[in-house]
Structure 1
Amino acid sequence: MLSLTGCGMVQSVVGETKVDYKSAKKASTLDVPPDLTQLSKDNRYALPNNDRGVATASGYQASRPGAPAAAQVSSNEVASTGNSAVRVERAGNQRWLVVQQTPEALWPQLKSFWEESGFTLAVDDATAGVMETEWNENRAKIPQDFIRNTLGKVFDGLYSSGERDKYRTRLERNPAGGTEIYISHRGTKEVVTGSQNESTMWTNRNSDPNLEAIFLAKLMTKLGGTADEATAKTAVDNAAVQAQHAAIVGEGAGRYIRTDEGFDRTWRRVGLALDRAGFTVEDRDRVNGVYFVRFVNDATDTRGFFSKLFNLGSSDKDKEAQRYRISVRADSVNSTQVSVWNNDNKPEESPVGEKILTLLHEQLK
């Protein structure tokens, strides 16, 4: 009866989205008594004689002599709200935070933020400006009924939402000397398979902009952008919805996405779109406007969740994961082309290339 009740409860989740990822192991925090001096930070990775700091490859390339100048963002391109120290901006269906701190100063705060939120980190790459959590379950999606309230603490392992989430945080240094923080969500769910429903497997589910907004609001509060989380959530929710900024044009080898934004803004939004769509970004060359990515067509990926999690059968999947180049090229100050090229540096005209273009367009529009 208990197991049957646990299965049934998963279907009764209603109401506004809440988050509770307490199942992950949290790192302990070392508090320094007020009468002692705070220990100095580990500066092994600090760059000498650089007051601006560089936490991303694109930021480094942008600071080099001869690099393309960053496009200015006009008031009708991006809506923003919040104070001058931390504010939320929005373009299309993407939101991000703009913080008047360097990436070096923000990095330890972001690590602390995800640990306090119940996550451990799978990727912690300050050089690339990318931080990614391990998969974790949102326990708030399991309703609190009488049985769970009385026996849940003892038999908590019997309850599952059937879903797992992970979050990627990307930092980009903006021309004004501050930092833009992007949070992207990826999800997976357990589905029943087989003619007799005798087995289950884990499959990808769509990214959830609401979950991204929740953690942006939480982070905004932690960084001092608002006095409380409710105010931060209102600021994120009230970021004005913009008109579509992208469209797919052309045919065959000349097919591409055209945006009505400059190179700098499009470059950063393409990076977030790749994170959301689940691409593996191996490298990026901002000077030439190229992201080097690996992509596996999920339609042919029949491995279970734990096989993917622990990379079982990775040799076979590595053969299937093809390398592509996402080209970002400016047409003018307010127009940019985004196209898909294969590893031989030729336009990708296959159905997979069309799928990649469609995935990017869904995020950029």
Structure 2
Amino acid sequence: MMNMLQLSRRYISILALMIFVSAALSACQSVTSNDTVDYKSAGAVRGPNLSYPPDLITAQADRRYIVQDGTATMSEYNAAVKKSIQMCSNVMTGIPGMRIARDGERRWLVVEKPASELYPQVKDFWQENGFLLVVDSPSTGIMETDWAENRAKISQDWIRSTIGVAIDSIYDTGERDKYKTRLEVLKPGETEIYITQRGAIEKCTSDSTGNCISTVWTPRPNDPELEAAFLARLMERLGMTQEQAKAMVAVPLDPKTPKAKFVQDGTNQAHIELSAGFDRAWRDVGLALDRSNFTVEDRNRSTGVYYVRYVNPKDLGDTNGFFSNLFSSKDDSSLKAKKYQVVVKTTGDNSANVYVQNAEGKPENTPAGFQLLTVLTYQLTK
């Protein structure tokens, strides 16, 4: 009888500890709560993209808190509890010297920490938010997520509320997003973090009678509000309170942006003229690249060069268009991407030119080079 009583007390203690850990972890997770974005459920449904190494795409956020099977002893469970709470405390401790910087209609995060320390935390942040990373380059400070669906855009009607996740997978917004993150170091001990979003929407292709016969994924305009939402979430992940992060991101932007003009006069190399000094021109060109079909492979700020690959959707053919295969694990767009150099040169205190060169650093005075400059000009004037 005494053994049964002791066993019951032990189970009650374990149950109490489980409730305590659940509450603690719920509090920890609430740091990044936001009703406008929810990519976790979509990531769980889609599963990993098998064209990428598993170590780059496996989300670790929730699994680290799972209690193992019933063979664990009380001491092992207590150790797990202590470790879980410590992990949560590490998230909550935060990083001092963190602020939102602004210039015109651009905003980015500045943190007084080396990029080498921040990169693993930013990587964890994206995985904790339900994303799979398809680009993970600590040496260049660049990461990019796979395409994912924002399930927060699905209305919570009475059918979903009643039946719940049993039929949740049949709901689809017809939209997908992906995010690029770039860490820039301008001076020792200080890192700038840029987040850019790209979107796609599924559109219907109709026949002569107006009936939908197929759908195709096409690009949709960049959404600065989604970028702001994830900047705020990242600030929370690094230790700022939700109220502080939202307040800093919510400060109005200055709508004035530097003027960008595409110059093609036939006498000089085609280029873009920017009414901005080098610092601003370098930053704006980087954001323009991130928001286009460019992949930044490397960069050298001292020489003003971005080393990029560019995918032209037309190069992939009409029957195998880039956006019609956005979500296929067999996407071969990277194989057809061409390498270029995008060069930023100052021409005065408040002026700079942007040039496109080929992989060897020679002027790209071709229709392809003109198209790339046109794409960049469009992004720089948005």
The TM-score bracket by the shorter chain reads 0.7 to 0.9
State TM-score, norm by structure 1. Answer: 0.73
> What's the counterpart of residue 241 of structure 1?
254
Identity in percent: 45
Corresponding position: 1:157 with 2:174:
no
Query: Larger relative CO (CA 8 A, sep 6+): 1 or 2?
Result: 1
Assess, with a 3 A threshold, how the Cα gap between structure 1 residues 29 and 156 changes in structure 2: closer, same or farther: closer
Show CA shifts across 1:320-359 (max 9, x none): x333221111223432211222346443344443332233
Show CA shifts across 1:79-125 (max 9, x none): xxxx9711111223221000111112212221221122121222221
Aligned partners of 2:217 and 2:326 also within 8 Å: no
* In structure 2, C-alpha distance between the alignment counterparts of 1:325 and 1:220, rounded to whole Å: 33
* In structure 1, C-alpha distance between the alignment counterparts of 2:362 and 2:346, rounded to whole Å: 18
Aligned partners of 1:91 and 1:242 also within 8 Å: no
Aligned partners of 1:89 and 1:239 also within 8 Å: no
Corresponding position: 1:220 with 2:235:
yes
> What's the counterpart of residue 256 of structure 1?
271
> What's the counterpart of residue 287 of structure 2?
272
* In structure 1, C-alpha distance between the alignment counterparts of 2:306 and 2:258, rounded to whole Å: 20
* In structure 1, C-alpha distance between the alignment counterparts of 2:269 and 2:224, rounded to whole Å: 31
The within-5 A match list for 1:342-353 is: 342-343=358-359, 345-353=361-369
* In structure 2, C-alpha distance between the alignment counterparts of 1:242 and 1:35, rounded to whole Å: 47
Question: 1:127 is paired with a residue of what secondary structure?
Answer: coil
> What's the counterpart of residue 339 of structure 2?
323
Question: 2:187 is paired with a residue of what secondary structure?
Answer: coil
The within-5 A match list for 1:82-231 is: 85-175=97-187, 177-195=189-207, 196-225=211-240, 227-228=241-242, 230-231=243-244
> What's the counterpart of residue 55 of structure 1?
none
Q: What do you get for the CA RMSD once the two structures are aligned?
A: 3.0
Aligned partners of 1:17 and 1:211 also within 8 Å: no
Assess, with a 3 A threshold, how the Cα gap between structure 1 residues 35 and 96 changes in structure 2: closer, same or farther: closer
* In structure 1, C-alpha distance between the alignment counterparts of 2:346 and 2:164, rounded to whole Å: 56
User: Larger % of helix: which?
Assistant: 2
2:364 partner amino acid: E
* In structure 2, C-alpha distance between the alignment counterparts of 1:245 and 1:29, rounded to whole Å: 46
* In structure 2, C-alpha distance between the alignment counterparts of 1:122 and 1:259, rounded to whole Å: 32
Cα distance, 1:203 vs. partner? Answer: 1.9
Cα distance, 1:127 vs. partner? Answer: 0.7
Aligned partners of 2:182 and 2:195 also within 8 Å: yes
Gaps of 5+ in 1: 1-15, 40-82
* In structure 1, C-alpha distance between the alignment counterparts of 2:84 and 2:326, rounded to whole Å: 46
Gaps of 5+ in 2: 1-33, 45-58, 66-79, 88-94
* In structure 1, C-alpha distance between the alignment counterparts of 2:293 and 2:212, rounded to whole Å: 28
Assess, with a 3 A threshold, how the Cα gap between structure 1 residues 29 and 107 changes in structure 2: closer, same or farther: farther
Cα distance, 1:267 vs. partner? Answer: 2.1
Aligned partners of 2:104 and 2:253 also within 8 Å: no
> What's the counterpart of residue 332 of structure 1?
348
Structure 1 range deviating more: 348-357 or 201-210: 348-357
> What's the counterpart of residue 314 of structure 1?
332
Cα distance, 1:160 vs. partner? Answer: 0.3
- Residue in structure 1 matching 2:307, options 289, 292, 298: 292
* In structure 1, C-alpha distance between the alignment counterparts of 2:259 and 2:365, rounded to whole Å: 20
Aligned partners of 2:298 and 2:306 also within 8 Å: yes
* In structure 2, C-alpha distance between the alignment counterparts of 1:356 and 1:107, rounded to whole Å: 30
Question: 2:370 is paired with a residue of what secondary structure?
Answer: helix
Aligned partners of 2:99 and 2:110 also within 8 Å: yes
2:126 partner amino acid: W
Deviating beyond 6 angstroms after TM superposition, the runs of 4 or more aligned structure 1 residues are 35-39
1:292 partner amino acid: Y
> What's the counterpart of residue 64 of structure 1?
none
2:192 partner amino acid: E
1:191 partner amino acid: K
Cα distance, 1:243 vs. partner? Answer: 1.9
1:236 partner amino acid: V
Say which one has the larger Rg.
2
1:348 partner amino acid: E
* In structure 1, C-alpha distance between the alignment counterparts of 2:233 and 2:136, rounded to whole Å: 20
Assess, with a 3 A threshold, how the Cα gap between structure 1 residues 36 and 300 changes in structure 2: closer, same or farther: closer
Aligned partners of 1:293 and 1:323 also within 8 Å: yes
State TM-score, norm by structure 2. Answer: 0.70
